[in-house]
Amino acid sequence: MTDHRLTSALFSSDGMRAIFSSNHTVQCMLDVEAALARALAQEGVIPTQSVTAIVNACRADQIDIQLLTMDARQSGNLAIPLVKQLTAKVAAVDAQAARHVHWGATSQDIIDTGLILQLCQAIDVMTSELAEVADALAAHAHHHRATPMIGRTWMQHALPITFGLKAAGWLDAILRHQERLVIVRKNISVLQFGGAAGSLASLGDKGLTVSQALANELQLTLPAVPWHTHRDRIAEVGTALGLLTGTLGKIARDISLHAQTEIAELSESSSQGRGGSSTMPHKRNPVGCAAILATAHRVPALVSTLLTCMVQEHERALGGWQAEWETLPEIIELSSGALQQLRDVIQGMTVNAERMSSNIAMTHGLVMAESVSIALSNHLGRAAAHELVEVACAQAIATDKSLFDILQADKHVSSLISRDELQKLVDPVNYLGQAETFVDRVLTEHRHRKH
């Protein structure tokens, strides 16, 4: 039962808001009630003729949502007033069938299993969204496999890499999240059905067979034991999405840094109305990255709430379970919104290869110092070569000359390394290491995962 605010479209997706809308939340609980009636009748616990009236009444459009919300405040959860309305709807058609509504279940069975149905739908949507992000990143990694750019450590120029390598690093992380979601989807697809205290005593010797029939109806796995106060499955969903939003935030942080005016290597789409300023016509703000980063800031605290909620009392929680109700949908909506934002950012992103090249050159070859140092190490040893090149770098900075010019003028260096060899050593395209191989490895993994 989420409250969709004016900024909801910025931080969530239409599909996810629909899954966790009031009507759909109620419908999923009613789907459980309908499946329970069919399972009970299948196992001979209730008369078969009661099923039709119960199933026909299990429609959210027949429920007074406003009244349900008001009554939940008094009863402490949604299931109690929902069952009350459902029973009244059934009784209006078949008084005998109304006696068998919600038979053998407890409120948490209906709420939790309804939530499981929503979570399965949500994870399926996010799995599809992740695949779109992965495809978009793979396209950049492939196209810019050999496009040189400067790598940065501690926010400073380090060594040349390729933009394909950076995109492949992003993609590799997304592939791990795809794998995690597959595992989470399997682990969460379980029935919650234990009755008042988790023993299904009210169903006598039919408890297990009804449980299996109910699980089959809902296409869920029957767990070994009801899990009313064992919330690791719920927390696993939250933590997996917490990890995901962390990665989305990392990618958004990288892109926004590359989009700074002074760097200008990447930029978000400049479609009409996107990224503008209310006062500065020239602005092209990374609004998609901003939304993703906002999500990455919000989700960790929400995940912390879910982890805290795991400490629950005995067979039914007092406060811990209830704290999950709004926390988990918020995590899912935020994560899905961030995924859609990143998909749009990556698909519409402009890559400025010329600016990448000029940024490498802006330090006049200093970023190639390691390349020269390693070559000189073969003649002087590592420490002496490092010291020689370090002095040369200082001279280049002090005189505003290129590292090549300083080294070429050094008679000691020129006696060891020819001019042509030195030119090759300070050329960034000759010092990309295994960048292209790493890109190929990630792209191969991406292709395997698609097939």
For residue 296, the model assigns a pLDDT of 96
Residue 448 C-alpha from the chain's centroid: 21
- Is-catalytic flag, 402? no
Give the SS3 label for residue 269. Answer: coil
Alpha-helical segments (H) within 259-352: 287-308, 320-348
Q: Please state the rounded mean pLDDT for residues 433-439.
A: 97
* pLDDT(301) > 60: yes
> Residue 26 domain-assigned?
yes
pLDDT bracket for residue 7 (50, 70, 90): confident
Structural domain harbouring 46: 1-105+191-224
Nearest to 141 by CA among 178, 179, 177, 169: 169
Q: Please state the rounded mean pLDDT for residues 287-294.
A: 95
311 in the same domain as 271 = yes
* pLDDT(8) > 50: yes
Indicate the number of domains in the chain: 3
Of the residues 128, 277, 358, 418, only one is catalytic, namely 277
For residue 282, the model assigns a pLDDT of 58
Q: What is the mean pLDDT of the chain?
A: 94
Domain of 404, CATH number, reads: 1.10.40.30
pLDDT bracket for residue 277 (50, 70, 90): very low
pLDDT bracket for residue 286 (50, 70, 90): confident
DSSP-derived secondary structure letter, 368? G
> Residue 132 domain-assigned?
yes
Query: Could you tell me the two tokens for 348?
Result: 């519409």
237 in the same domain as 331 = yes
Give the SS3 label for residue 267. Answer: strand
Cα separation of 385 and 418, whole Å?
A: 16
Which of 306, 335, 356 is where one domain is finished?
356
99 in the same domain as 30 = yes
How many residues are recorded in the chain? 451
For residue 272, the model assigns a pLDDT of 56
Of the residues 253, 274, 316, 355, only one is catalytic, namely 316
For residue 39, the model assigns a pLDDT of 98
Contact 164, 439 (CB under 8 A): yes
Q: Please state the rounded mean pLDDT for residues 175-185.
A: 97
pTM of the model: 0.92
Domain of 78, CATH number, reads: 1.10.275.10
Model confidence pLDDT, tens digit, residues 128-160: 999 999 999 999 999 999 999 999 999 999 999
Cα separation of 45 and 100, whole Å?
A: 9
- Is-catalytic flag, 316? yes
* pLDDT(36) > 60: yes
Query: Could you tell me the two tokens for 56?
Result: 């026909």
Q: Please state the rounded mean pLDDT for residues 59-82.
A: 95
> Residue 441 domain-assigned?
no
233 in the same domain as 292 = yes
End-to-end CA distance of the chain: 37
218 in the same domain as 126 = no
290 in the same domain as 388 = no
123 in the same domain as 84 = no
327 in the same domain as 235 = yes
For residue 192, the model assigns a pLDDT of 98
For residue 269, the model assigns a pLDDT of 83
> Residue 300 domain-assigned?
yes
Query: Could you tell me the two tokens for 33?
Result: 């009630």
* pLDDT(425) > 50: yes
> Residue 447 domain-assigned?
no
pLDDT bracket for residue 279 (50, 70, 90): low
* pLDDT(274) > 70: no
Domain of 334, CATH number, reads: 1.20.200.10
Cα separation of 448 and 229, whole Å?
A: 39
Cα separation of 119 and 128, whole Å?
A: 14
> Residue 208 domain-assigned?
yes
212 in the same domain as 128 = no
Which of 356, 378, 393 is where one domain is finished?
356
Of all helices (H) and strands (E), which one includes residue 407? helix 403-409
Query: Could you tell me the two tokens for 451?
Result: 């097939």
Model confidence pLDDT, tens digit, residues 123-133: 999 999 999 99
Q: Output 229 or 272, whichever has higher pLDDT.
A: 229
Which of 224, 247, 269 is where one domain is finished?
224
For residue 1, the model assigns a pLDDT of 42
Cα separation of 237 and 387, whole Å?
A: 52
* pLDDT(214) > 50: yes
252 in the same domain as 195 = no
139 in the same domain as 212 = no
* pLDDT(305) > 60: yes
58 in the same domain as 196 = yes
